[in-house]
Amino acid sequence: MDHESMSWLLLLLELLLMLGMLEAKVPAVIVFGDSSVDSGNNNYIPTIARSNFQPYGRDFEGGKPTGRFCNGRIATDFVSEAFGIKPTVPAYLDPTYSIKDFATGVCFASAGTGFDNATSDVLSVIPLWKEVEYFKEYQRRLRGYLGNYRAKQIVNEALYMEIYRLGARKISIGGLPPMGCLPAERASNIKDGCACREDYNLVSRQFNSKLVALINKLNSQLKGIGLVLSDIYYTMLEAIEKPHLYGFETVEVGCCGTGIFEMGILCTKSNPLTCTDASKYIFWDAIHGTEKICSILADHLMRTSLAGFL
């Protein structure tokens, strides 16, 4: 599996912590992960794994490139809004935000990260262990801002075990999408006419099945935890196979440039091949989805795996 697939492979790291009790159903959304959910942390570290330039963010409010690998908002933004919290989840390293802003949601994700530190070292991004360290720091800041009692309500006191030990109780683990249908992977499948790679899709399904087994095991072992699998595989596959049902026209390539290899620094504003209407596309670049598909997937999750958190 080539390197470009890793950002989607790390969807299992989209640990969306829905930490709620008492009067608020979900007082905060806390996000860990990679480029699929990074809302701008990489803007503030020395790495080339960034997207804080146009055409990224062109459909975001004000046409601002925020560091999200998308033309607009990403799935975790839509989930936050659906929970009635706020329309976007701010990046923890963004100095324009304060602990007051982070009290209702924060993103620790870093594009290009992974479980293995070596993965993060390749692009000099934030390793997953550091994301958890930032979470600890966030807890301390939150206690200083809200006091111990309220902070514990928001942050209800191997990776899953560490976050559990730190107090997380409602956790959504994102499953893998049909990775063989990413434009970057389809482009390599020349012998089959650039169709989706079924061998990669099989890996996604097998991995998701193993995640279900892991979630069931942890739910039985850890007192008071509520782990769920946020499975986007079949919804995304249906959108790819039956795009007319969702209002899409192009599924084989991304909107940016040729749509078969561009992402990050290769996705430039000056590229004359970039599409004019991203809402007709499932993919924004060769790896990441458009704002529209992110909204569709978030809506699906709110009606399925995340419904129990309401």
Task: State the virtual CA torsion across 168, 171, 177, 183 in degrees, nearest 10.
Answer: -40
Is 285 a residue of the active site?
yes
Annotation marks residue 288 as catalytic: yes
How far is it, in rounded angstroms, from Cα 68 to Cα 267?
Answer: 13
Q: Which of 288, 295, 300, 305 is catalytic?
A: 288
Whether 59 is a known active-site residue: answer no
Q: Measured between alpha carbons, how far is 301 from 231 in angstroms, rounded to an integer? A: 8
Helices 233-241 and 291-303: crossing angle in degrees, nearest 10, is 130
Provide the strand spans (E) within the chain.
Answer: 15-18, 29-31, 105-107, 170-174, 226-230
Q: Which two tokens stand for residue 218?
A: 């942890």
Options 5, 7, 35, 230, the catalytic residue: 35
Give 102's contacts (C-beta < 8 A, 6+ positions apart).
90, 92, 138, 141, 142
Distance CA 230, CA 184 (A): 24
CB 288, CB 70: distance < 8 Å: yes
Position 133: which residue type? E
Q: What sign has the CA pseudo-torsion 35, 40, 41, 43?
A: positive
| Active-site residue identified among 36, 204, 285, 295 | 285
Catalytic site positions: 35, 285, 288
